Amino acid sequence: MPELPEVENVARELRPALCGRRLLALDCHFPGVLIAGGGVEIDPWRPRRVVAVHRRGKLLLLDLEGDLGMSVHLRMTGRLSLEDPSTPRRPHTHVTAAVDDGRELRFVDPRRFGRVEVATRQHRAGTPFLRSLGPEPQDLDADALAARLAARRGPVKSVLLDQRLVAGLGNIYVDEILHRAGLHPRLEADRLLAPEIVGLVEAMRAVLDEAIESGGSTIRDYRSPDGRAGEFTARHRVFGRAGEPCLVCGTPVRKVRLSGRGTHFCPQCQPRRRRRPRRRTARRPRGGTP
């Protein structure tokens, strides 16, 4: 659920609330959800000040004093909230941190896919997942995207979901971006035309900017740390709207399964027209250079 816009909203809300504050205690209530890395000792916990809050892809990163770094991945149902300790903890509250302003930072995750990790910042930076992340969408121009897409096979939808290609996109925003760009999700990533890639970059920026500004999308579980639902859901053009009319042309939105993920698109606005044929000479038996 939480994709780049949701995690960005969490970071923006936690930054002023946590920077400069100390985490007085850190407790894990379900084994395995809180992990220590890089030989860092977290039990017993020594109070640490939060130095910075940022985001990389779908990862939320807290820098702590003493060269420590905390990373939180919300995966499907993870949620961070900042609450008064007297408020009863919701079910599936797996990690809690006491903040020195009297509040409590809580990590709730029913499906328990999410993780909170505390490590040295150097160890965190070397984590395979973080290292493998592609560029932030904001840092990607059409040329760079074209180069990355050219090296990949498979439907553009699946390729955009791959965090190594570009970081932070998930199922909601890939569907919304492809609709905005007028591209069918099954188009081969390495056969997009230059103007289509320009449109794709523009759609990516536009959709993500709008989603961030409207607080992200709430399908079911997502809430910002102070409990607000995202309002971008109401502006989805295809995601979650199967059978409903496309907001651009009125054609019913279709939902199909593509590489295991529910995929929404408008068959009219996102035509699956014939692509420029792959030049025969461009085909190499295996891994050849073009």
Partner DNA sequence: TCTAACCTGATC
Partner DNA sequence: GATCAGGTTAGA
User: Pick from 212, 209, 219, 221: which is nearest to 240 by CA?
Assistant: 219
Strand order through the sheet with 34-36: 34-36, 115-120, 68-73, 59-64, 48-56, 22-28, 93-99, 104-108, 79-83
**3 counts as catalytic:** yes
**2 counts as catalytic:** yes
DSSP string, 176-240: HHHHHHT--TTSBGGG--HHHHHHHHHHHHHHHHHHHHTT-B-SSS---TTSPPPBGGGG-SSTT
48/56 with CB nearer DNA: 56
CB of 187 to DNA, least distance (A): 13
67/188 with CB nearer DNA: 188
* Catalytic site residue from 2, 137, 185, 225: 2
Residues of this chain that bind DNA (CB under 7 A): 1-3, 6, 57-58, 73, 75-77, 91-92, 110-113, 128-129, 132, 152-155, 158, 161, 163, 170-172, 217-222, 259-262
CB of 200 to DNA, least distance (A): 18
Angle between helix axes 142-150 and 194-213 (nearest 10 degrees) is: 110
CB of 91 to DNA, least distance (A): 6
* Catalytic site residue from 48, 55, 58, 121: 58
* Catalytic site residue from 3, 83, 117, 196: 3
* Catalytic site residue from 22, 255, 261, 267: 261
DSSP string, 67-112: TEEEEEE-TTT-EEEEE-TTSPPPTTEEEEEEETTS-EEEEE-TT-
**157 counts as catalytic:** no
165/200 with CB nearer DNA: 165
CB of 124 to DNA, least distance (A): 14
96/230 with CB nearer DNA: 230
What residues act catalytically? 2-3, 58, 261
